[in-house]
A = this chain, B = another copy of it.
Amino acid sequence: MENPLIAHIVKTINISAFEKQCIIKAFKSSTFRKKQNLLEEGQSCKYLFFVCKGCLRMFFINDKGAEQTIQFALENWWMTDNMAFETGKYAAFSIQAIEQTEVLYIDKQSLEVLLEEIPSLNKYFKNIYHRAYAASLMRIKYVFSMSKEDFYDHFCNSYPDFIQRIPQKILASFLGFTPEYLSELRKKKLTEKI
């Protein structure tokens, strides 16, 4: 029975059994229940999280006082406030469990030690960030090129099973519109289908 993080790492780089042990030792594990915060906006961001099971979301409070979700992390995704984790400054975002979620986590100093011990991990993380960056640009592309309605359709088609797992309020804020408007769209889809 292997650690999901190790399983994920060996998809991109080769590591020895000893290195696997180093990695396993460097991470701690924890479970968060629904709605529990892993990080709060304005606090310092100590950890980098890897989702083994469950689902996280990253959000911030906008000028109207509403929670604005900006991304999700499912199984095998990394999540932290990258800027804050790296620089030691205060977090611009909060991270919260959407459902009960098991994570592995590591602090910055331990991560640096680990990267010294296993330099090839730099390649692994290079790939992780590379993909995350590319995905993020595609997201910007979609935001700008689609109407809110099309954006909703596109999301439903791309992640049909995932929309079942998240409250509509959160989905609405992720897509960039109000829960009321989402409600209207859903109604429209229903009448269209009949």
B141 and A70 within 8 A (CB):
yes
| A83 at the B interface (CB under 8 A) | yes
A92 and B130 within 8 A (CB):
no
B68 and A137 within 8 A (CB):
no
A136 and B145 within 8 A (CB):
no
A143 and B141 within 8 A (CB):
no
Rounded to whole angstroms, the CA-CA distance of A83 and B127 in the bound complex is: 11
| A60 at the B interface (CB under 8 A) | yes
In the assembled complex, the CB of A76 is this many whole angstroms from the nearest CB of chain B, namely 17
Question: Which of B92, B122, B123, B132 is within 8 Å of A133, CB to CB?
Answer: B132
Rounded to whole angstroms, the CA-CA distance of A67 and B181 in the bound complex is: 28
Query: Binary interface profile of A, 77-114, with partner B (CB < 8 Å = 1, else 0)?
Result: 00000110010000011000000000000000000000
Q: Which 9 A-B pairs have the closest CB atoms?
A: A129-B129, A126-B126, A136-B136, A133-B133, A82-B134, A122-B122, A122-B123, A62-B145, A83-B134
26 contacts between A and B (CB under 8 A): A60-B141, A62-B145, A63-B145, A68-B141, A68-B145, A71-B137, A71-B140, A82-B137, A83-B134, A92-B138, A92-B141, A115-B123, A119-B122, A120-B122, A122-B122, A122-B126, A123-B126, A129-B129, A129-B130, A129-B133, A133-B136, A136-B136, A136-B140, A139-B140, A140-B143, A143-B143
Given contacts A92-B141, A122-B123, 7 further A-B contacts (CB under 8 A): A63-B145, A70-B137, A70-B144, A71-B137, A86-B130, A93-B141, A119-B123
